[in-house]
Amino acid sequence: MARKHSKHGPYEDDHGEEEAPAAAPSCWLCGRPTGKTIIWHHPVPKSRGGRDVVPMHPVCQKTLIANFTNSELQRHGMDVEGLLANPNIRKFVDWVANKDPDFTATMAKKQR
């Protein structure tokens, strides 16, 4: 026996309207809009008690991790200007500024 009323509502109510996609968030480090892949990075590492996350490009996160230890990242915290004061990071951000949001590159090993 068929139901008199649908459990989930009539199909006529769904007009198939698509919502506009939300604007891509800006990368925390370089400020460019993020592409298809967004890394949610902990500026203060989770191992050091960090809970906040920020959107970043994968290449920006790899560069950050290659240039700073967890204790250095903990000292900087959410202060992106302090990270940009590092000459290696500043040079990278200036270089990547005109690249496509989905740009990827191989990164050098950690410089320690």
Long-range contacts of residues 74-80, Cβ cutoff 8 Å, at least 24 apart: 74/44, 74/45, 74/48, 74/49, 74/50, 76/43, 77/43, 77/44, 78/43, 78/44, 78/52, 78/54, 80/28, 80/29, 80/43
Q: What's residue 105's pLDDT?
A: 80
Closest CA to 54 of 22, 82, 77: 77
Q: What is the pLDDT of residues 3-57, one digit of tens each?
A: 566 566 555 555 555 554 567 799 999 999 998 989 999 999 999 998 999 999 9
Q: What's residue 91's pLDDT?
A: 94
Residue 1 scores a pLDDT above 60: no
pTM confidence score? 0.73
Q: What's residue 29's pLDDT?
A: 93
Helices (H), 1-112: 58-67, 70-76, 80-84, 87-96
Q: What is the pLDDT of residues 50-91, one digit of tens each?
A: 899 999 999 999 999 999 999 999 999 999 999 999 999 999
> 33 with 24: CB under 8 angstroms?
yes
